[in-house]
Amino acid sequence: MPSDIHSHTNNAGFFEIRMESIGGLGANLAGKMLAEAGVLKLGFNGSNFSSYGSEKKGSPVKTFVRFAAAETEIRSSSPIEEPHVVAVFHESLLRTQNCIVGLESHGVLIVNTAKSPDDIRVLTGLKSGVVLCVDALQIALEEKSRVNTAMLGALCRIIDFLDPEAVKTVISETLGRKYPTLAAANLRTFDRGFREGSISLYPAETNGDVYEPFVHPIPDLGYDSQALGGAIINPGNSITRDLSASRQGFLPAFSQEACIHCAACDEVCPDMCFVWNAKQDSRGRTFQYLQGIDYQYCKGCLRCIQACPTDALTTIRETDTYATDHRVRHQ
Ligand code: SF4
Ligand code: SF4
């Protein structure tokens, strides 16, 4: 990576970063702090904005940061399609969307994950470039902070024209103003994000190409293909709805043995994840029996755990296959 911004900017003179995240992980704030450090502390030109749909915890968010040398004006406010660096704040996003689209062949992919760079390369299909894996969630848990400052640490490790001390100053000023008690924890988180994690380099056969060009998504229905009368021919339904990418690393584990089938969990679950079946008790009376959780619809809010009067529901850190291995499907 360059020590001087000039040596690695694109044809427009920009160095571009795209953060892929979900609402609640702090990518928007991370982008703001990074841009502020670059512009106000380091003297670059810069811009930053985010793109998201409903402002809801768990929904996908993209945050964009552009830097340029002081003499280069940034007149673009378009989304970053061919970034030098992609930072993925939530590993599950790699399964639900093409996070690396547009990344150049020498680009850098940073992922919040406990996996190795080789595993991430296989998961994403990345052909070449640099992969940095940092377990930002574990760091944030241990430091009682958030993943965004660990990801900022990782970004500063890989982008060496960004002075980490400048970013730390902005973190102190920003969090110190709003949440003074959190500033110290987030600075420790930043340092660990900077130091920890593993990096692998996968050499490119070509020089500086974008190996998978960005393709603008084309909606299935447009003004010339919409059914007459605006009829909705594929109505919204919950069968294909997958909320797994909304989980922030945790989900409820269910123990059949400890369950008393009181349905307190079902009453608080916003997504009707609990799967019930009729069963007969020893006296032949029919009752509703909790079979388990349909994890496809679980966004990991963990309300059910607070509601459960027994130890039938417990919080666990999500591992790769837990949800698919333990999913009980709605009939
Ligand atoms: S964590 Fe519990 S309450 Fe929240 S969506 Fe999942 S099953 Fe429902
Ligand atoms: S709240 Fe707990 S005990 Fe009651 S049905 Fe749900 S899992 Fe079972």
Higher pLDDT, 56 or 108: 108
- For residues 155 and 270, state if they share a domain: no
Q: Is the pLDDT of residue 305 over 50?
A: yes
Out of 202, 224, 257, pick the residue that ends a domain: 202
Is 19 touching ligand 2 by the criterion CB < 6 Å?
no
Ligand 2 atom closest to the Cα of residue 261 is 5
Q: How confident is the model at residue 39 (pLDDT cuts 50, 70, 90)?
A: very high
Q: How confident is the model at residue 2 (pLDDT cuts 50, 70, 90)?
A: very low
Going by alpha carbons, the residue nearest to atom 4 of ligand 1 is 301
How many independent structural domains does the chain possess?
Answer: 2
- For residues 17 and 119, state if they share a domain: yes
Q: How confident is the model at residue 60 (pLDDT cuts 50, 70, 90)?
A: confident
Going by alpha carbons, the residue nearest to atom 8 of ligand 1 is 269
- For residues 253 and 307, state if they share a domain: yes
- For residues 192 and 270, state if they share a domain: no
- CA dist., res. 206 & res. 104, Å (int): 10
- For residues 179 and 252, state if they share a domain: no
The pLDDT assigned to 281 comes to: 84
- For residues 23 and 109, state if they share a domain: yes
- For residues 180 and 276, state if they share a domain: no
Is this model's pTM higher than 0.75 or not? yes
Ligand 2 pocket: which of 254, 257, 261, 276 to mutate (most atoms <8 Å of CB)? Answer: 261
Three-state DSSP class for residue 313: strand
- For residues 189 and 265, state if they share a domain: no
Out of 182, 202, 222, pick the residue that ends a domain: 202
Question: CB count, 10 Å around CB of 152?
Answer: 31
Provide the CATH number for the domain around residue 145: 3.40.920.10
The pLDDT assigned to 145 comes to: 92
Output the DSSP codes for 218-272. Answer: --SS-TTTSPGGG--SS---SSS---GGG--SEEEEE-GGG-----HHHHH-TT-
Q: Which is nearest to 137 in space by CA: 181, 98, 192?
A: 192
Tell me what percent of the residues of the chain surpass a pLDDT of 90.
63
pLDDT in tens, 258-283: 999 999 999 999 989 999 999 998 88
Out of 202, 217, 233, pick the residue that ends a domain: 202
- CA dist., res. 250 & res. 317, Å (int): 4
The pLDDT assigned to 235 comes to: 60
Residue 193 lies in a domain: yes
Higher pLDDT, 191 or 146: 191
Q: Is the pLDDT of residue 229 over 90?
A: no
Residue 219 lies in a domain: no
The pLDDT assigned to 178 comes to: 76
The pLDDT assigned to 1 comes to: 43
- For residues 183 and 305, state if they share a domain: no
Question: Average per-residue pLDDT in the chain?
Answer: 89
- For residues 50 and 187, state if they share a domain: yes
Higher pLDDT, 176 or 327: 327
Residue 45 lies in a domain: yes
- For residues 259 and 176, state if they share a domain: no
pLDDT in tens, 150-209: 999 999 999 989 999 999 999 999 988 777 888 999 999 999 999 999 999 998 776 555
- CA dist., res. 89 & res. 147, Å (int): 7
Q: Ligand 2 mean position to 315 CA, how many Å? A: 14
The pLDDT assigned to 223 comes to: 74
- CA dist., res. 111 & res. 129, Å (int): 13
Provide the CATH number for the domain around residue 279: 3.30.70.20
Q: Which is nearest to 109 in space by CA: 83, 131, 135, 82?
A: 131
- CA dist., res. 79 & res. 18, Å (int): 9
Residue 207 lies in a domain: no
The pLDDT assigned to 35 comes to: 97
pLDDT in tens, 109-125: 999 999 999 999 999 99
Ligand 1 pocket: which of 302, 326, 330 to mutate (most atoms <8 Å of CB)? Answer: 302
**Residue-number span of the structural domain to which 116 is assigned:** 5-202
- For residues 132 and 248, state if they share a domain: no
Output the DSSP codes for 188-215. Answer: HHHHHHHH-SEEEEE--SSSS-BSS---
- CA dist., res. 200 & res. 121, Å (int): 10
Q: Is the pLDDT of residue 7 over 90?
A: no
Ligand 1 pocket: which of 242, 294, 299 to mutate (most atoms <8 Å of CB)? Answer: 299
Q: How confident is the model at residue 212 (pLDDT cuts 50, 70, 90)?
A: low
